[in-house]
């Protein structure tokens, strides 16, 4: 009979963690320890390793606050990370043992933000069913605007008009590993003006992360003459080019800045990528949508997929004891 156990991650487990990621079916570079730990000062890490007969069979990137464990709040998505060979019965056992371990350690709730299916290398929706079985409470749903490159839709004529404007204005696009011009001239001022907010990553943090993941964190800037007028930051994974940040100066409509940039990113730079993910247009914890932003994304042929956020009472692990008949 299989013997499962759960262990809280420590720095001594880094090699075990990184080794498991190599053959996982629902992993991106966001789950590498060198990415997760850049914001260790903001979150109390409480990641878990799950063992079966002393072999790692699952990971849970997580942080803790009081009596709730969160699939890591510093990451865009999370949940159980699983080996590509794992079958459903074992996933059920892994999840049950995680909940039971949390319950025994007086951690009353687990909050999960499910990994959108486009990021999985092979089917990996076991958790959706298991969350149903334990009666998980749905906290939030976000909409992601995604282009599937195998079935592309035509870019709307108004976006192509923007591209023509940019060409008439002699705009040019540069891919760069210097994040300072975009962050300090465009992104941070715009966020401060419109939302009284700062970027999630400081320019120092994104620069350090990009030095660790140069193939995954990419910066594209748009210039008119020698002046930066807009740009986008892309997180690239195996299947997906994801827009992490996007911003332009006040002349973006007249110049066609962002239409020009995204037509290039979608149809040229990331032409071979399976999905192009614009991210969400949600505000107010998913309850509202920025209509203009969503319209702009859909004009490029993006359509909606959902990302769900759940809360589980850890004591409900008992509901997983009699699944199979």
Phi/psi of residue 133, each to 5°? Answer: -65, -35
**What local confidence, expressed as pLDDT, does residue 190 receive?**
96
pLDDT tens digit sequence for 275-297: 999 999 999 999 999 999 999 99
- Round the average pLDDT of the chain to a whole number and report it: 96
Q: Is 217 exposed, middle or buried (0-12, 13-18, 19+ CB in 10 A)?
A: buried
97-120: per-residue pLDDT in tens? 999 999 999 999 999 999 999 999
Residue 97 to residue 113: CA distance in whole angstroms = 19
Averaged pLDDT, 246-272: 97
Assign 5 a pLDDT band (cuts: 50, 70, 90): very high
pLDDT of residue 19 exceeding 70, the answer is yes
What local confidence, expressed as pLDDT, does residue 36 receive? 94
The answer to whether residue 156 scores a pLDDT higher than 70 is yes
Once rounded to an integer, what is the mean pLDDT over residues 15-26? 97
Q: How far apart are CA 127 and CA 82, in angstroms?
A: 11
> Which pLDDT belongs to residue 40?
83
Query: How much is the pLDDT for 266?
Result: 98
Give percent of the chain with pLDDT exceeding 90.
97
> What's the confidence (pLDDT) of residue 41?
84
The per-residue pLDDT for 99 is 98
CB atoms within 10 A of CB 196: 7
pLDDT at 246 over 70: yes
Asked if residue 203 has pLDDT above 70, the reply is yes
Report the DSSP beta bridge partners of residue 142. Answer: 307
pLDDT of 1 above 80: no
Which of 12, 107, 94, 89 shows the shortest CA–CA distance to 60? 94
What values do phi and psi take at 110, rounded to 5? -125, 125
Residues of the chain with CATH 3.40.630.30: 4-141+308-320, 151-273
* pLDDT at 71 (0 to 100): 95
Residues 37-88 have pLDDT tens digits of 988 888 999 999 999 999 999 999 999 999 999 999 999 999 999 999 999 9
Q: Which fold has domain 4-141+308-320?
A: Aminopeptidase (3.40.630)
CB 299 within 8 A of CB 293: no
Domain at 151-273: CATH architecture: 3-Layer(aba) Sandwich (3.40)
Kindly provide the residue ranges of all beta strands, DSSP E only, lying in the chain, ordered along the sequence. Answer: 4-8, 48-52, 55-60, 62-65, 68-71, 81-82, 109-113, 137-148, 171-176, 217-224, 227-236, 240-248, 275-280, 282-283, 288-289, 303-313
Res. 222: pLDDT tops 70:
yes
């Amino acid at each position: 009979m299989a013997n499962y156990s759960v262990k809280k991650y420590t720095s001594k487990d880094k090699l075990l963690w990184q080794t498991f990621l190599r053959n996982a079916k629902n992993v991106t570079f966001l789950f590498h320890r060198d990415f997760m730990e850049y914001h260790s000062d903001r979150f109390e890490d409480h990641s878990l390793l799950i063992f079966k007969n002393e072999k790692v069979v699952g990971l849970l990137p997580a942080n803790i606050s009081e009596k709730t464990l969160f699939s890591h709040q510093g990451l865009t998505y999370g949940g159980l990370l699983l080996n590509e060979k794992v079958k459903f019965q074992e996933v059920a056992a892994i999840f049950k043992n995680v909940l039971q371990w949390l319950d025994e350690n007086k951690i009353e709730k687990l909050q999960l933000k499910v990994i959108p299916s486009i990021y999985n290398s092979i089917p990996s929706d076991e958790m959706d069913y298991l969350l149903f079985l334990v009666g998980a409470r749905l906290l939030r749903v976000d909409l992601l605007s995604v282009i599937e490159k195998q079935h592309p839709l035509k870019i709307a004529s108004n976006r192509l008009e923007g591209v023509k404007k940019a060409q008439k204005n002699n705009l040019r696009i540069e891919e760069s590993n210097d994040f300072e011009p975009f962050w300090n001239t465009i992104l941070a001022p715009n966020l401060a003006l419109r939302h009284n907010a700062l970027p999630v990553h400081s320019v120092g943090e994104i620069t350090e992360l990009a030095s660790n993941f140069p193939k995954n964190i990419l910066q594209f800037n748009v210039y008119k003459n020698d002046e930066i007028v807009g740009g986008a930051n892309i997180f690239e994974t195996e299947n997906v080019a994801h827009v992490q940040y996007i911003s332009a100066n006040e002349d973006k409509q007249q110049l066609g800045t962002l239409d020009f940039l995204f037509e290039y990113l979608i149809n040229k730079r990331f032409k071979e990528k399976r999905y192009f993910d614009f991210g969400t247009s949600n505000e107010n914890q998913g309850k509202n949508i920025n209509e203009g932003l969503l319209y702009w994304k859909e004009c490029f042929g993006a359509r909606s997929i959902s990302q769900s956020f759940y809360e589980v009472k850890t004591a409900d692990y008992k509901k997983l004891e009699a699944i199979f008949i």
